[in-house]
Chains A and B, each alone.
Chain A
Amino acid sequence: GAVVSQHPSWVICKSGTSVKIECRSLDFQATTMFWYRQFPKQSLMLMATSNEGSKATYEQGVEKDKFLINHASLTLSTLTVTSAHPEDSSFYICSARPPGQSPYEQYFGPGTRLTVT
């Protein structure tokens, strides 16, 4: 099956610093990747849709200047949380979609737990 990895799996950073999270599709090319955020006991909330070679599309209420997304290649998308604050502490999950597949062909990474102190 398709495998998506994320790095790091967890990170602790100080308030005001920036953190980069990588999402890689290991055995397929992903034209589209998605970034989600999940707070404890809450649902996954889509933050943005990332298409290779173009600007990401952000969901309403998500600050594009704070959450920088770069989909530099068909196997790599990065999410940079800039000037992180404690309220940004969350579980960030990416997913990747192989081209030409149905909407349910979306594979999720294992997630990155971010703690901002």
Chain B
Amino acid sequence: QKEVEQDPGPLSVPEGAIVSLNCTYSNSAFQYFMWYRQYSRKGPELLMYTYSSGNKEDGRFTAQVDKSSKYISLFIRDSQPSDSATYLCAMSTSGTYKYIFGTGTRLKVLA
């Protein structure tokens, strides 16, 4: 079993839809949870980060962490064609800077 599982998609939604992206994990020691956006043939760009459990909102993006279920989510409101990219979740334990990435979910927002 992989430490971090993420549905690779692709996920196609119409413009303006609410998008839900998810990751599950098996290592209960993970404390830091990040979401990255990666455009084709580019490096990942940090979107959101959360420490431990809870919700965090930043503009159209909301990150949620449910440690009891070992489940994290990224919600995108009012999705735009420019949001079309691969979204990667990443996790890290306290005291280390080693990231474990999910495989990424390809999102396509249709105009």
Report the stretch among B12-20, B37-45, B70-78 that lies at the interface. Answer: B37-45
Write the nearest CB–CB distance from B6 to chain A, whole angstroms. Answer: 8
**What is the interface residue range for chain B against chain A?**
20 to 34
A90-104: contact bitstring with B at CB < 8 Å (1 yes, 0 no)? 010101010000111
Contact status B44-A104, CB under 8 Å: no
Contact status A106-B104, CB under 8 Å: no
- Chain A residues with Cβ below 8 Å from B96 are 103
- Chain B residues with Cβ below 8 Å from A111 are 41-43
- Chain A residues with Cβ below 8 Å from B44 are 44, 93, 108
Contact status A43-B102, CB under 8 Å: yes
- Interface of chain B residues 29 through 48 with chain A (CB within 8 A): 32, 34, 36, 41-46
Chain A residue total in the interface (Cβ 8 A): 25
Contact status B43-A93, CB under 8 Å: yes
Report the separation of the CA atoms of residues A109 and B38 in the bound assembly, to the nearest whole angstrom.
Answer: 11
Is B25 at the interface (CB under 8 A from chain A)? Answer: no
A30-48: contact bitstring with B at CB < 8 Å (1 yes, 0 no)? 0010100000011111100
| Given known contacts A43-B102, A43-B104, A102-B32, A109 and B43 CB-to-CB distance under 8 angstroms | yes
B92-107: contact bitstring with A at CB < 8 Å (1 yes, 0 no)? 1010111111111000
Other than A43-B103, A44-B99, give 17 A-B pairs with Cβ distance below 8 A: A4-B43, A41-B8, A43-B6, A43-B88, A43-B102, A93-B43, A93-B44, A97-B97, A102-B32, A102-B51, A103-B32, A104-B46, A104-B49, A107-B46, A108-B43, A110-B43, A111-B43
Enumerate chain A interface residues (CB-CB to B < 8 A).
4, 6, 32, 34, 41-46, 49, 91, 93, 95, 97, 102-104, 106-111, 113
